[in-house]
Structure 1
Amino acid sequence: MDKIKLTGLDFYGYHGCLPEEREKGQHFLLDITMYADLKMAGETDDLSATINYAEVYETAKKIVEGEPCQLIEAVGERTAAAILRDFGKVQKVRVTVHKPQAPIPGIFEDAAISVVRTRS
């Protein structure tokens, strides 16, 4: 199956379990991989035959910058569900939510989750 990838989408949100995360907020990075049949788009060079990734970006932005969640798992789930709901050509989606400023004691590069959902 073909795929479209959006990586390093950077949004500011207020997700987390701690009060200071909800008050101050922080950056969240998303990587989204959408699986679909892109043959028609490649053959016709027609935007309507593919997935408009500018619209996918806006969908993700509304979720990450919208209603706060305690868990980044919920952010990933909401994003994956919205993509499958709103973009009919997507057959499978992987959403990775990175929380590089997670309140973890010690030195670390990133904290992230990935969800993979398939159209039923």
Structure 2
Amino acid sequence: MTTKIELKSMRFYAYHGVDPQETRVGNWFIVDLMVTVDLVQAIENDNLDSTINYAEIYEVVKSEMNVPSKLIEHAAGRILKSLRRRFPQIEHIQLKLAKQNPPFGGDVQSAAILLED
């Protein structure tokens, strides 16, 4: 049985960007995360110790989003690595990090990076 945990549309105000204004003023970012993990025991025994606490996943993401990066690629990579370190039972990660209203000088809702590992 394939089992996944999804945390969708986690919203953070952060200071990622190359332009000085981005690191000074900040911007809104959206993180979508899906992790594949064996949850068969949790399905059977209804015990939190048999799964990954969703709040703990959120705290890992939040902690990494609080560290400024020039590139969203770098921020996404740090999130992925931190999740792997904290939860070695994760089999697969799909992570999308999107910067809302990027400073392109055009009408763009978001610019995003999608990582899978």
Give the TM-score normalised by the residue count of structure 1. 0.93
Query: Is this contact kept in 2: 1:6–1:32, CA < 8 A?
Result: yes
Alignment partner, residue 76 of structure 1: 76
Alignment partner, residue 102 of structure 1: 102
Summarize the alignment of residues 16-95 of structure 1 with structure 2, pairs less than 5 Å apart: 16-65=17-66, 67-95=67-95
Query: Is this contact kept in 2: 1:50–1:89, CA < 8 A?
Result: no
Query: Which deviations, in whole Å up to 9, do the C-alpha atoms of 1:27-56 show, x marking residues without a partner?
Result: 111001000111111001111111111001
Greater than 6 Å deviation, 4+ residue runs:
none
Q: Which runs of 5+ in 2 are unaligned?
A: none
**What secondary structure sits across from 2:103 in the alignment?**
coil
Mapped to 2, the partners of 1:32 and 1:81 lie a distance apart of 13
Aligned residues, how many? 116
- RMSD value over aligned CA atoms? 0.9
Q: Which runs of 5+ in 1 are unaligned?
A: none
**What secondary structure sits across from 1:73 in the alignment?**
helix
Once the two structures are aligned, what percentage of the paired residues are identical?
A: 35
